[in-house]
Chain A
């Protein structure tokens, strides 16, 4: 079946440093699945951060970017300069026939 693998956390980054959280997928049911990053901030529910529905395109939100690379089947999340408010758990997911398949989540800790 379809699956998503992402960087195992926790990941600790100093404030104002750059960040990359890796996400790779395996899709057998659809050639180019739609891809998502969701985030859960402390004390809040999961929420959509960004999505890309076209292979080769880039999505961005709140300073984060992710590029859909169909050659490497990857959708890595990047940010040039993190802030303390970015501390959260980040989830990569793909749409497999109207159902989301989720990665295990990556906890991001920002050092002041």
Chain B
């Protein structure tokens, strides 16, 4: 088995601040994802990556940057935190692209609060 580790677990930022979230996986999976979940809503895809140094935008990519410098890690940057923003960011990985053929495995999440 493997594990997905997201750091930090909790992130408190100031309005306008650039904030970076990190994700590491030891499954040796090719594809990694970043999702955002707002309270009472479903997950929305921000970015995904099908291999090292690849980046693909999801529906929610505006306001975020991502980086996949190594196969095992995928980082997400909030380029300018919005006041009163609160959300949970979930990282996931799968062997390959395509959720129907390749099960997604998720980390525990990073909870963001912006003051």
Chain A residues within 8 Å of B, Cβ to Cβ: 4, 34, 36, 38, 43-48, 51, 53, 91, 93, 95, 98-105
Contact = CB atoms under 8 A, between A and B. Distances in A.
A53 B100 contact: yes
6 pairs of A and B residues whose beta carbons are closest in the complex: A102-B42, A45-B106, A46-B106, A34-B100, A102-B43, A95-B100
A100 B98 CA distance: 9
A40 to B, nearest CB: 8
A98 B104 contact: no
Interface size class of B (residues with CB under 8 A): 20 to 34
A103 to B, nearest CB: 5
B42 A4 contact: yes
B35 to A, nearest CB: 8
Given A4-B42, A45-B4, A98 B98 contact: yes
A105 B100 contact: no
A103 B106 contact: no
A80 to B, nearest CB: 25
Given A45-B4, A99-B58, A91 B106 contact: no
A104 B100 contact: no
Nearest to A36: B99
Q: Which of B44, B92, B100 has the most CB of A within 10 A?
A: B100
B100 A45 contact: no
